[in-house]
Structure 1
Amino acid sequence: MNPTIDLNTLFNLDTLIEFLLGISLSAAAGFRVFVPLLALSVASVVGHLDLPTNFDWLESPQALVVFAVACLLEIIGYYIPWLDHLLDTVATPAAFIAGTIVAASFAPEMNPLVQWTLALIAGGGSAGLTKGLMNILRLTSTGVSGGLTNPVLSTIELTIAIALSVLAIATPLVAGIIVIGVLIFAIQRVWKFFKRKPSSQQSESIST
C-alpha cells in the first residue's frame, strides 16, 4: 500500500460519496450504535457495498447475526426505564468506536495511520456529536417529565437511526447534506450546554 496520499484519489467524486456515506452512517451510530453497523453488514452481504479487504468480517453471515441480535437488544433496552440511562453511559464511547470503524471502512486507500486518524476525527467525531446531542435532550426530557417521555425520545432516536442508515446507503449525497446540517445543529447545542453549565454553577455558589 502506498503510504503517500494521492490528492486526486482524495478529492474525486467517488471518494466524496464514500466520505458522505461514511459520516452519515457514523452519525447514525450516535442515535443507535448497532443500527448502522447492521445496515452496513446487510448491504455488504447482499453485494450492494464492496468493503476493503480488512473489513471482510463485516460481510460475513456471522457478523450479520451478531449485529442483528445486538441491535434488537439495544432497541429493547432503551424502553426499560432503569436501563436506558445505563445504556446511554455505555453507548457514548461505543458510538464513538462504531463511528470510527464505519468511517474507516470507507476511507480511501492510504497509510493506515492516516486512514484511522481521519476516521477517528470524521467518523468518531460525527457519532460523538450526535450522541452528545441526544444525551442533552434525554437529560432535558428526564428533568421535565421525570423520564415519562423517554420512550418517545427513544422511538425518535430509533427512527432517525434507521432512516439515516437506509438513506446513507441508498442516496449518500442526500444523507450527507442532511447530516452536515444535523452536525452543525449538534455543535451549537453542545456548545451552549457546556457554556451555560459553568454559569449556572457559579450563580448557585453565589446564592449560597
Structure 2
Amino acid sequence: MENLEILISLFLGIGLAAAVGFRVFLPLLVLSLAGYCEVITLNESWQWLGSLTAVITMGVATAVEIFGYYIPWLDNLLDTIALPLATLAGTLVLVATITDLSPVVTWTLAIIAGGGTAAAIKGNASAARLTSTATTAGTANPILATVETAIATVLAFASIFIPILAFILVVLLFFLIFRFYKKLRKKRLPPA
C-alpha cells in the first residue's frame, strides 16, 4: 500500500508541476487550499503551505498573475519572469506532495520530474504566446491566456482529486507537444 501512496503522490506532484507551467500561482493556491482543508497531506516540512496565511497570499498572487496575462505587453514580460519561477515552483510542488521518501530521492525526483515538467510546459506556452504576439499583434493573447488558465485549473484540481487522470493528461500534453514539433520539423526540412 505504501508504494501505491508514493506513486499517487508522485502523480499529484507531476500534475501540479504541469499546471505550474501554465500559471505559476494557481496550482500553488489549489495545493494550499487542499492542505488547508485537509484534503491531502503535505510533506512534514511543507505544512505551512496549508495555513490560512498561505492561502490568502497565494490567492492574491494568483489574481495578480491571471490579470497580468490580459495586458498585451505585460503578458510577454510575465512569461520571461515566469520560466525560472515555474521551474522552481514545479520542483517545490513535487517536494511538498511526496511523503515517506528519503530527502535525496525526493529532491532528485522533484528537480527532474517537477522542475523539468514545469519548465517544458512553460517554455512551450511562452513560445505560443510569442507566436501569437507576432502573428496577431497580441489580439489573440487574451484568448490564449484564458485557455492557459483553464488548463492550469483543470490540471490542478485533477491533480488533487484524481491524480492518475492528471498524470494521463500530462502525458497527453507532452505527446501533443511532441507531435507539433515533429510536424514543424517536417515543414522546415527541405525535400531530398
Shift of 1:113: 2.7
Task: Name the Cα RMSD after superposition.
Answer: 2.1
Question: 1:30 corresponds to which residue?
Answer: 21
Matched, 1:144 2:144: no
| Amino acid of the structure 1 residue aligned with 2:136 | S
Corresponding residue pairs, total: 189
- Is residue 43–residue 98 contact of structure 2 (8 Å, CA) maintained in 1? no
Question: Identical aligned pairs, as a percentage?
Answer: 44
After TM superposition, the structure 1 = structure 2 runs for residues 112-191 of structure 1, keeping only pairs within 5 Å, are 112-189=103-180
- 2: CA distance, partners of 1:187 / 1:116: 27
Question: 1:18 corresponds to which residue?
Answer: 9
- 1: CA distance, partners of 2:181 / 2:33: 33
- Is residue 35–residue 161 contact of structure 1 (8 Å, CA) maintained in 2? yes
Stretches of structure 2 lacking an aligned partner (at least 5 in a row) = none
| Amino acid of the structure 1 residue aligned with 2:88 | I
Shift of 1:185: 2.6
Question: 1:86 corresponds to which residue?
Answer: 77
When normalised by structure 1's length, the TM-score is: 0.84
- 2: CA distance, partners of 1:144 / 1:38: 33
Question: Residue 118 of structure 1: SS of its match in structure 2?
Answer: helix
- 2: CA distance, partners of 1:97 / 1:188: 27
Deviations 1:104-156 (A, max 9, x none): 12224333233212101000111111111111211221121111100100000
Shift of 1:188: 5.0
Question: Residue 21 of structure 1: SS of its match in structure 2?
Answer: helix
- 1: CA distance, partners of 2:94 / 2:137: 36
Matched, 1:105 2:96: yes
Shift of 1:189: 4.3
| CA gap 1:62/1:192 in 2 versus in 1, 3 angstroms | farther
Shift of 1:165: 0.7
- 1: CA distance, partners of 2:166 / 2:60: 26
| CA gap 1:150/1:34 in 2 versus in 1, 3 angstroms | same
Matched, 1:65 2:34: no
Shift of 1:38: 0.2
- 1: CA distance, partners of 2:126 / 2:181: 10
Deviations 1:42-86 (A, max 9, x none): 001011011121001101111111100000000110011111111
Compare CA radii of gyration and give the structure with the larger one: 1
| CA gap 1:26/1:190 in 2 versus in 1, 3 angstroms | farther
Shift >3 Å, 4+ stretches: 187-193
- 2: CA distance, partners of 1:86 / 1:190: 24
When normalised by structure 2's length, the TM-score is: 0.90
